[in-house]
Amino acid sequence: MKRHSTYGGLWIVALTVYALAGPAQAQSTWTGASNSNWSTDGNWDAPPASGASLIFTSATGTGGLNLNNDLTTAAFNIAGITFDAGAAAFVIGDGTANANVGNTFVLTGNIVNNSTSLQTINNPFSKNR
């Protein structure tokens, strides 16, 4: 009697699922522990790199709600921006409430606001999918 192994089939399924899902994407969550500057590593759980997704929660820290995007350049890609359910009303720009200020970035994903607060992005940015 010939025995067949099902393990080979399971490996193929597992590799196929990984290939379709791709590697995990980097995420950086804002803590605002130091100030309002995006370039300060201590303001994030992991400093954002180009291609990361940015998460904003209820944490405002000492940085407050007017955040300074002094980190990005025109070549900086942000995979997505998510505001969690408890997120306060953030204003992302140059650290003030001024419109159309701060560094530009390329948004390659979506902006999702799961909170009831109005979120404002004053940075000029381009959308690229």
The verdict on residue 16 lying in a domain is: no
The verdict on residue 29 lying in a domain is: yes
Helix (H) or strand (E) holding 91: strand 91-93
Give the mean model confidence (pLDDT) for residues 85-95.
90
CA–CA separation, 108 vs 126, rounded Å? 9
Residues whose CB is less than 8 angstroms from the CB of residue 61 and which lie 6 or more positions away in sequence, other chains included: 31, 32, 33, 34, 43
Domain count, the chain: 1
The verdict on residue 72 lying in a domain is: yes
The verdict on residue 7 lying in a domain is: no
- 66, with CB counted inside 10 A (0-12, 13-18, 19+), is middle
29-83 confidence digits (pLDDT tens): 999 999 999 999 999 999 999 999 999 998 888 888 999 888 866 678 999 999 9
pTM greater than the 0.85 cutoff:
no
CA–CA separation, 79 vs 94, rounded Å? 20
Q: Six-digit token pair at 8?
A: 């080979």
Range of the domain at 40: 25-127
